[in-house]
Amino acid sequence: MRRCCVLSVLLASIILINLDCWDPTSPNKNITVIVDYDDFSQNHDYSKNVRFLAEGTLTVKLFSNTGSTGASWSNPAQISDPTVLEQTNHVYVPPSSPNPGAGGQDVWTLKAIGKGDCVVYMEYKRYFDPLPAWTFTLNVTVL
């Protein structure tokens, strides 16, 4: 009987230790943030918090309709701490739909080069407008 109790306690301890180590909110090494037209329609100043692991990659995909509106996203992205993140790429992906006025995506790739906190900021506007139509702010923590 005592042996059975000891085994039960040992098994329960192992399960609890494993559950304690498993955290569904643990950061990943690579993160993708996608913000579509509906997101910007509801919130013209979109912001989000993300965290991911050092040496990981952050991909940001933002709705863009440069062809129809004349507006474009600022590039390069404004990064508050270049010792934490660096932009490694930016491309425009045209719309998959042939419909006039369909929007595509601007896609940035950023590499975590150090640990810490920083902010990634971008504006979507036409070159002659004093204020942006939309803004994107990403509060980043690299662990």
Domain spans of the chain, in order of start: 26-142
Q: Is 78 left (phi over 0), alpha (psi -120 to 50) or beta?
A: beta
Is pLDDT above 60 for 16? no
CATH class of 26-142: mainly beta
Q: What is the pLDDT of residues 56-76, one digit of tens each?
A: 999 999 999 987 888 999 999
- Residue 101 has a pLDDT of 79
Measured in degrees and rounded to the nearest 5, phi and psi for residue 13 equal -65, -40
Is pLDDT above 60 for 86? yes
Record the tokens describing residue 125, joined without a space: 């506007």
Listed range (13-27, 74-88, 105-119) with the worst mean pLDDT? 13-27
pTM across the whole model = 0.79
